Amino acid sequence: MPPPPAAALSSGVAAIDRLTDLFADGDVLVLSGAGISTDSGIPDYRGPDGAAHNGAPMTYQRFVGSETDRRRYWARSHVGWARFAAAQPNPSHLAVAALGRQGRLTGVVTQNVDGLHSAAGSPDVIDLHGRLDRVACLTCGIRRPRLEVGLRLDAVNPGYRDQVTAATGRLRPDGDVALDDTDGFRLVACRACGGVLKPDVVYFGEHVPRERFRTALAWLDRSRSLVVLGSSLMVGSGYRFATAAARRGVPVAIVTRGVTRADHLASLQIDAPLAEVLPPIAASLTQVGSVGRWESRPDRSQQPNVAGGHAPRARD
């Protein structure tokens, strides 16, 4: 095992400068989590308003083992999909995309299923847990657009979405909403083989496809640093990237609110809103024009502070 990482910086300004230097040096692998999409109206799992406080998410075992659970999930997801699909990239997604276009990133590995990194224009994205805008058949493996399946669900459940929309609860990170009565909701099957349809996402209790994970690790092998954005790394697949980086001697930087599972592996931790960290960094590096050390640092006094009027802080 490599030696423990250096202590995280204690100065907010110094921490932002160090993070900027990582991006300026290039070959950064970004690993993003639900926290990057909260400003787009999609809640995270473990924040104060997240799904962990408002009911457990669907698991793979429940979905494949119970038609009742499948019906409940599809009814909730069908109603919540319109709100989920309407989400737009926020300034943090756009900043990551700008850094990618500048050639500073190996790529973006996202644990999110919202597709917002691609929508923002990031050139190289691995959707580690899949995408909610696709549907897969569990029998034949065929994939179809979510919009197509949604139209079929509308056809066999006429008026259902309109009837329950007014009574829906809050949106969840996996795109569904809380509904009390879903017994009357009708499911549709795969048109090719009649098999069970499932959103093309990795549920809790399900494994990331092996080749997808191997590709993401290959990106890590080509990277000089790993920057974690908006993730507590509580999910095993995300945490494995942090441990893999540590084994390879790749510095790990974490920018998120609160503690994470990989705090002991990080050489840099910044506890601040992503929207107040990433856009200024991307803007300052746009002026550099090419990958290289960031020598002319902008005036920090002109940049916004975090909520409450304090500069972003690094945890030590």
Query: What are the residue numbers of the active site?
Result: 129
Residue carrying the six token digits 């098999």: 195
Q: Nearest-CA neighbor of 2 among 237, 244, 253?
A: 244
**Residue 303: what are its φ and ψ, rounded to 5°?**
-100, 150
Cα separation of 20 and 127, whole Å?
25
* Contact criterion met (CB below 8 Å) for 229 and 96: yes
Write the secondary structure of 86-154 as one string of H (helix), E (strand) and C (coil): CCCCCHHHHHHHHHHHCCCEEEEEECCCCCHHHHHCCCCEEECCEEEEEEEECCCCCEEEHHHHHHHHH
Distances in whole angstroms, Cα of residue 188 to Cα of each of 72, 150, 172, 197, 212: 13, 10, 23, 8, 28
* Contact criterion met (CB below 8 Å) for 230 and 44: yes
Question: How many CA atoms lie within 13 Å of 1's alpha carbon, on the beta-carbon side?
Answer: 5
Residue 135: left if φ>0, alpha if ψ -120 to 50, beta else—which one?
beta
Residue carrying the six token digits 């737009």: 88
> Coil, helix or strand for 271?
strand
